[in-house]
C-alpha cells in the first residue's frame, strides 16, 4: 500500500494535534478544505489516507496498536534484550506500575484519534457535497471511525466521542468530556449500519486492501458479541459466513504469509511491501515505512542465542515471545499443524537441526513461527531485516466463525455453534468436537479454540476480560482488576480542559 496520501492526512489532522501547545497560527501549506472534497480524486486520496493511518498505528515499532493489544495476554511475553528493553512494553506485559505517561499507550491513543479526525473531515465535507461517490465515501470513512472507536473503548473504556473536529486550534475548542462505553457502542453501531449499506461486496471491492460490506457486517457482529447482544449479532455474522466471497484459507500454515495476503480469509488487513530497499539508515522505526518492521522485532533473538538451521526462519530481535502456556495448549489439543504455523518448541528447533545457547529475557521454551522472519517474506534489496512485506491480519474470517460459535452457544443453539467451531478445527487438522458437547463445556471448547487460532493477534486478553476470566488466567502474572483498562494518557488530561484527574481510569 503506497503512502500517496501522507501530506493530505497531515492537512486534516492539524486540528487535533497531540501537542499540549495550542496556538492560532495558521499552518503553512494547508489547502482550503471547502473545495478539496469537490473532487472525486481528492476524496479518493483522503480515503486511502485512512488506511495509511491505520498502517501507521500498527507498524510504529514501539507505539503500535498491534503490540499493545497482544502484550497483556497469556500467550506472549514482551521479550527483547533485558527487563528494561523498551520498559514501557515490559510494564504492559507485567501489569506492573503502568505509567499514565506510557509512550506506547499515548502513541496509540493519539493515532486512533488522528484517524478519527480524518474520518470526521471526510464525512462532514462529503455529506455537504454532491459527489457521485458520496454514499461509498461516507460508508468507508464511517467504517474506519467505528474501527478506531471500538479499539479505543475496548482498551480504555469511556473515552471522548469526537464526531466533529475543532474549528479553531485552541484548548477550548479541543475540550471534550468522556462519553460512556454505552454511548461509544451506540455510535459504532450507527456508523457500521451506514457502512454496511454503502460498502461493496468483497468480490467487487475496488482495491484488495479495502474493507467491504462483509467487513462491516463482521465488525458489527463482533461489537454486539462484546456487549453480550449475542442474538442480535447472529444475523450479521451469518451473513458473512454464508457469503462465498469469504472463507478459510485451505492451508493453515499459509494464513499469515504473503501467499494469502488480502485473500478470502481477510476482512481487514494492513499491507506492506518488500520493494523499497530500505537500509537501517533509510528505514524509520518511528513508523511510516512501507515494510513491516514487526517481523524483524518478533523474530527469534540473534546475539548467538538461536541457531535456526533447518527451520526456514531468520533471526530477529526477540520481542513478543511465546509463553510456556501457549506451547502446552497446542500440545494438549494434539494440534500439530496449527502449532507449526504458530510456535516452535526448543525440542522442535533441535529436531530441525538448530540449537539454542543461553536464555534470552522472557524466554519460556519456544519461539514464534506466526509473523516470524522468513527469507521468502523479504527481498535482497537494501537490508533484508528492514524489508519484510508480511501483512498484519487485523480481522479474519476465522474469528467470525468463533464469534458465531460463541453467539450460538450463548443463545442455546449448540448444534449451530458446533458447526462453526468444527470448521476451524477441521482446517487445523483436528476432529470434530463431540456431538454431545453442549452448554458451558462447549463454551470452554470455544474459548480454548480461540486461544489457539488467534494467538498473537491481539484478542486473548480482551476476551478474558469480557468473559470474567482474566483473574483466573492471569493473577499469577500480576494482573489485577485495574488492568482491565489502560490509563488515560496524562497528556490527554493535561490538554483536554473537559477532563480532570478524576476522569482517570480506576487504579491509576
Residue pLDDT, tens place only, 263-277? 999 999 999 999 999
Whether the per-residue pLDDT at 27 is higher than 80: the answer is no
**Cβ–Cβ < 8 Å for 92, 78:** yes
pLDDT for 26: 46
How far apart are the C-alpha atoms of 332 and 452, rounded to whole Å?
Answer: 11
Q: Give the pLDDT of residue 169.
A: 87
Which single residue is written with the C-alpha cell 480532570?
A: 500
Predicted pLDDT of residue 381: 86
pLDDT recorded at residue 127: 96
Average pLDDT, stretch 110-117? Answer: 97
**Mean pLDDT, residues 219-228:** 98
CA 370, CA 349: separation in Å to the nearest integer?
Answer: 15
Q: Which of 9, 103, 96, 90 is nearest to 56 (CA)?
A: 9
Q: What are phi and psi of 374, to 5 degrees?
A: -135, 145
Residues 397, 385 contacting (CB under 8 angstroms): no
pLDDT band at 288 (very low <50, low <70, confident <90, very high): confident
Say if strands 355-356 and 306-307 run parallel, antiparallel, or are unpaired: antiparallel
> Is residue 23 scored above 50 in pLDDT?
no
CA distance 69 to 95: 13
Report which of residues 136 and 9 the model is more confident about: 136
Say how many C-beta atoms besides its own lie within 10 A of residue 288's C-beta: 12
Helices (H), 78-206: 87-94, 103-127, 134-156, 171-174, 181-198
- CA-nearest of 40, 247, 15 to 126 is 40
Q: What pLDDT is attached to residue 32? A: 58
Closest CA to 335 of 457, 429, 198: 429
Instruction: Identify the pLDDT of residue 412.
Output: 98
Maximum C-alpha span of the chain: 69
Q: Bigger pLDDT: 100 or 259?
A: 100
Cα–Cα distance list, 378 to 47, 58, 308, 317, 343 (Å): 28, 19, 17, 16, 20
Span 8-17, average pLDDT: 41
Q: How much is the pTM?
A: 0.94
pLDDT, tens digit, 9 for 90 and up, residues 420-478: 999 999 999 999 999 999 999 999 999 999 999 999 999 999 999 999 999 999 999 99
Element (H, E) at 396: strand 392-396
Tell me how far apart the alpha carbons of residues 91 and 96 are, in angstroms, rounded to a whole number.
5
Amino acid at each position: 500500500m503506497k503512502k500517496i496520501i501522507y501530506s493530505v492526512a497531515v492537512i486534516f489532522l492539524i486540528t487535533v494535534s497531540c501537542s499540549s501547545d495550542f496556538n492560532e497560527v495558521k499552518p503553512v501549506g494547508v489547502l482550503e478544505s471547502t473545495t478539496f472534497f469537490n473532487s472525486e480524486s481528492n476524496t479518493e486520496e483522503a480515503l486511502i489516507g485512512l488506511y495509511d493511518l491505520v498502517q501507521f498505528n500498527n507498524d510504529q515499532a514501539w507505539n503500535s496498536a498491534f503490540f499493545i493489544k497482544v502484550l497483556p495476554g497469556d500467550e506472549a511475553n514482551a521479550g527483547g534484550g533485558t527487563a528494561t528493553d523498551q520498559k514501557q512494553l515490559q510494564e504492559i506485559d507485567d501489569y506492573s506500575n503502568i505509567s499514565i505517561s506510557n509512550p506506547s499507550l499515548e502513541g496509540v491513543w493519539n493515532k486512533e484519534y488522528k484517524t478519527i479526525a480524518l474520518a470526521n473531515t471526510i464525512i462532514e465535507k462529503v455529506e455537504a457535497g454532491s459527489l457521485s461517490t458520496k454514499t461509498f465515501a461516507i460508508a468507508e470513512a464511517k467504517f474506519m471511525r467505528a474501527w478506531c472507536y471500538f479499539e479505543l473503548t475496548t482498551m480504555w473504556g469511556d473515552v471522548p466521542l469526537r464526531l466533529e473536529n475543532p474549528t479553531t486550534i485552541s484548548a477550548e475548542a479541543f475540550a471534550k468530556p468522556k462519553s460512556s462505553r454505552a454511548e461509544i457502542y451506540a455510535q459504532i453501531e450507527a456508523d457500521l449500519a451506514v457502512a454496511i449499506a454503502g460498502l461493496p461486496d468483497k468480490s467487487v471491492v475496488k482495491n484488495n486492501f479495502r474493507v467491504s460490506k462483509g467487513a462491516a457486517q463482521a465488525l458489527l457482529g463482533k461489537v454486539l458479541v462484546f456487549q453480550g447482544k449475542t442474538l442480535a449479532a447472529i444475523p450479521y455474522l451469518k451473513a458473512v459466513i454464508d457469503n462465498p466471497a469469504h472463507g478459510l484459507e485451505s492451508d493453515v500454515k499459509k494464513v499469515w504469509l504473503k501467499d494469502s495476503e488480502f485473500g478470502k480469509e481477510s476482512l481487514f488487513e494492513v499491507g506492506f511491501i518488500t520493494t523499497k530497499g530500505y537500509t537501517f539508515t533509510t528505514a524509520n522505526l518511528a513508523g511510516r515505512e512501507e515494510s513491516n518492521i514487526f517481523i524483524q522485532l518478533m523474530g527469534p533473538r540473534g546475539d548467538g542465542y538461536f541457531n535456526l538451521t533447518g527451520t526456514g526462519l531468520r533471526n530477529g530481535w526477540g520481542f513478543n515471545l511465546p509463553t510456556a502456556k501457549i506451547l502446552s495448549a497446542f500440545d494438549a489439543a494434539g494440534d500439530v499443524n496449527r502449532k507449526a504455523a504458530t510456535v516452535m518448541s526448543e525440542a522442535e528447533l533441535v529436531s530441525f537441526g538448530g540449537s539454542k545457547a543461553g536464555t534470552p529475557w522472557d524466554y519460556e521454551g519456544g519461539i514464534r513461527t506466526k509473523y516470524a522472519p522468513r527469507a521468502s517474506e523479504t527481498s535482497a534489496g537494501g537490508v533484508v531485516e528492514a524489508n519484510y512485506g508480511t501483512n498484519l491480519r487485523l480481522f479474519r474470517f476465522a474469528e467470525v466463525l468463533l464469534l458465531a460459535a460463541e453467539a450460538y452457544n450463548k443463545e442455546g443453539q449448540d448444534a449451530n455453534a458446533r458447526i462453526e467451531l468444527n470448521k476451524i478445527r477441521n482446517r487445523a487438522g483436528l476432529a470434530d468436537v463431540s456431538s454431545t458437547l453442549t452448554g458451558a463445556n462447549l463454551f470452554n471448547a470455544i474459548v480454548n479454540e480461540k486461544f489457539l487460532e488467534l494467538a498473537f493477534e491481539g484478542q486473548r486478553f480482551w476476551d478474558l476480560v469480557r468473559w470474567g476470566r482474566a483473574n483466573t488466567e492471569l493473577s499469577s502474572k500480576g494482573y489485577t482488576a485495574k488492568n482491565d483498562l489502560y490509563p488515560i494518557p496524562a497528556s490527554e488530561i493535561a490538554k483536554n480542559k473537559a477532563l480532570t484527574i478524576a476522569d482517570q481510569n480506576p487504579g491509576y
